[in-house]
Amino acid sequence: ETGVTQSPTHLIKTRGQQVTLRCSSQSGHNTVSWYQQALGQGPQFIFQYYREEENGRGNFPPRFSGLQFPNYSSELNVNALELDDSALYLCASSSPGQAYEQYFGPGTRLTVT
């Protein structure tokens, strides 16, 4: 069974730039959720994708957007990067309606300068 993978591991961007982060879900899981984890904080829910459509969204502005592909992999796109976007971005996969049993990837560490 393949676990959740994310790429890249680390990324450094400049304020105002755009970034794309990628996630491959665990085999058998067709639901992907994205989280932002600032240093010393718990993960904050960004949004969830199921069947290639956004299935729920947290308190994040529209410049945070995503995609899910037919193979259930997913992308998180962030436009107009701000310094406060510096964080660990986590992807988690699960079966539909089972957010209580999510499996996380190792995360992408984004630094905005």
Residues forming contacts to other proteins in the complex (CB under 8 A) are 4, 33, 35, 40-45, 48, 55-56, 58, 90, 92, 94, 96-107
Q: How far is the CB of 40 from other proteins (least distance, A)?
A: 7
C-alpha–C-alpha distance, residues 30 and 68, integer Å: 9
Q: Which is nearer to other proteins, 79 or 111 (CB)?
A: 111
Q: Which is nearer to other proteins, 23 or 81 (CB)?
A: 23
Q: Which is nearer to other proteins, 20 or 106 (CB)?
A: 106
Q: How far is the CB of 29 from other proteins (least distance, A)?
A: 13
The answer to whether 9 and 106 are in contact (CB under 8 A) is yes
Q: Which is nearer to other proteins, 44 or 86 (CB)?
A: 44
Q: Check the CA dihedral 68-70-73-79 and report its sign.
A: negative
Q: What strands lie across the sheet with 19-24, from one edge to the other? A: 5-7, 19-24, 74-78, 64-68
Pairing of strands 74-78, 64-68: antiparallel
Q: How far is the CB of 94 from other proteins (least distance, A)?
A: 8
